Chains A and B, each alone.
Chain A
Amino acid sequence: MTKFTNRIAAQRHLLLIINTSHLFEEELFGLSQKAIERWAMTNQISPNQKILTLIKEAAAKLFFLANHSQQHITEEYMDIVSEVETVGTKIQKEIKDLNSKNRVS
């Protein structure tokens, strides 16, 4: 697996978490800044909602990796790879919480 395909896999994993939740009317099409902005606007997600902050955080980290993918693997690069995974876990937890809240209300 190349770093390029790893980034696609990481993006796919995060999108699956969001899009299989069925909490949002329109699916998230990608993790570019503009795709996220569109998703937030269409689904009326306010800027300070935790799920949006987490998605933006994961996207920013993937963006960093994309811009450093041509360089040698540094410790910082590897740290950010593991941070993307951590944010993914947080997104999963947040989706679970949102689902529980939805069920209660």
Chain B
Amino acid sequence: MHIYAFGSICRGDINPNSDIDLLAIVNYYDKRLDPQIFSIYSYKRIKEIWLEGNPFAWHLHKESQYIFSESRNDFLKELGSPQTYRDYLSDCEKFYDIFVQSKKLLSDQSTNKVFELSNIFLGMRNIATCYSLGCTFRPNFSRHSSLDIGEDSLKIPIEVYSCLENARILSTRGQGLQPHSHLVKQAIESLDLIDIWMVNLVEKARRYDKIYKQNCSSKTSSINN
């Protein structure tokens, strides 16, 4: 078994809302490990996500700290760098779709507002992480990645951002106060702004992908010639 810490605690950007992310890598089911505390992966699956260039593999590669193993070796370090992340476009599109669905429901119905606002935050965070990992040299895995991807950062009023983050924490950790209705209203009114930002990231990812594929095909044809 190997145990690692990863995420905010390894970046040092901790605050009272931070949780401690722990990873356990095992060969077999181990009843000592509480899945509410550990992200539990098999060695086989870790090797697979490394080969896929999965964002989680990159997250672990960039921001994890070895804590324990019976064999006293650092398994993740020995794996080296994951493969290049190539699914950024489809991932950005997937998180945009999640956003669109929640945006529509927030304007159509009065229930599950916190849950839908939480999905908005999820979409914002993940699209920023996938975009920054796939299309820039500065991958950002933090909870606040949407605010920190250089010129492409999201620009919305801080109280709206806090309302969305608060909804995410309520939905996942059950902590915090229910957002005031005027803040929810303000957040819903800002969704068009977030929509434009996300569409721009998807478009940029698409252009980046097109250039990448053109470069690949010109390299292939020059080899063939």
Residues of chain A at the chain B interface (Cβ within 8 Å): 2, 4-5, 8, 11-12, 15-16, 19-20, 26-27, 29-30, 32-39, 63, 67, 70-71
24 A-B interface contacts by CB (under 8 A): A4-B94, A12-B105, A12-B116, A15-B112, A16-B111, A19-B111, A19-B112, A29-B118, A29-B167, A29-B171, A30-B114, A30-B115, A30-B118, A30-B172, A32-B172, A32-B173, A32-B174, A34-B173, A35-B170, A37-B174, A38-B174, A38-B175, A63-B35, A70-B49
Counting chain B residues whose Cβ lies within 8 A of the other chain, the interface size class is 20 to 34
In the bound complex, how far is the Cα of B116 from the Cα of A8, in angstroms? 10
Q: Given A70-B45, A71-B45, A36–B174 Cβ distance below 8 Å? A: yes
State the main secondary structure of chain A at its contact with B.
Answer: helix
Q: 6 nearest interchain CB pairs? A: A30-B171, A38-B174, A34-B174, A35-B174, A29-B170, A19-B111
Q: A4-B94, A29-B170 are in contact. List 19 more A-B contacts (CB 8 A).
A: A8-B119, A12-B112, A12-B116, A15-B112, A15-B115, A16-B112, A19-B112, A20-B111, A26-B178, A27-B111, A27-B112, A27-B114, A29-B171, A30-B118, A32-B172, A35-B170, A35-B171, A35-B173, A39-B174
Show the binding face of B for A, using Cβ within 8 Å: 35-36, 40, 45, 48-49, 94, 97-98, 101, 105, 111-112, 114-116, 118-119, 167, 170-175, 178
Q: In whole angstroms, how far apart are the Cα atoms of A15 and B109 in the complex?
A: 13
